[in-house]
Amino acid sequence: MSKKTSFARIKYRVQQVGRALLPTFTREELQWAASFLSAEEHEVFREMAPADRRHCLDVAHICRSMAEQLAPDQRRLLLTAALLHDMGKRQGAIRLGHRIFFVLLGSRRSRIVPFKRWPLVGRPLHVIARHARLGAAEAKKRNWAPDLVALIRHHHDQSGSMSDENRRLLQMLQRADNLC
């Protein structure tokens, strides 16, 4: 990795920590987000940690710019998925230190296993590693649309069996998530 690339990654991570430490929201963007969510989805969004809500809003803003050519129902699905894709993180008491530690471990579940028995560290790391699966399981239990469940489930991996249209939405979601 070149020095320029290393510096860019360090700068990105420092900015990411800053956004997580002091997330801010405008009334307009929260109203905008609510316009894409059902009452139940909005409640889940509001239950998310402020850092996760900020991240999901940032992802949704990027998706909005990518989705101009989509049909209205596909655009709504993409933006709803962007706003809820990290909902599975609500299932753990995840603090900023856990998030940083997870990134330092290389975001690999195999590196988390040694910490499994540490109650204050193991559970939050486990939730971070499995948040896509956990969020999708909850969305499915709530009887949310299968397409939304699939986008939440696969936002960190390959799409499995998915229509070409939804695979395109997943690629947009993943691209936006990786930029944030």
Q: What is the CA radius of gyration of the chain?
A: 16
Q: Looking at 1-10, 17-26, 31-40, 155-164, which range is the least confident one?
A: 1-10
Its sign, for the CA torsion 59, 171, 99, 120, is: positive
pLDDT at 164 over 80: yes
pTM of the model: 0.88
- Return the residue matching tokens 């939440």: 152
Question: pLDDT at position 163, please?
Answer: 85
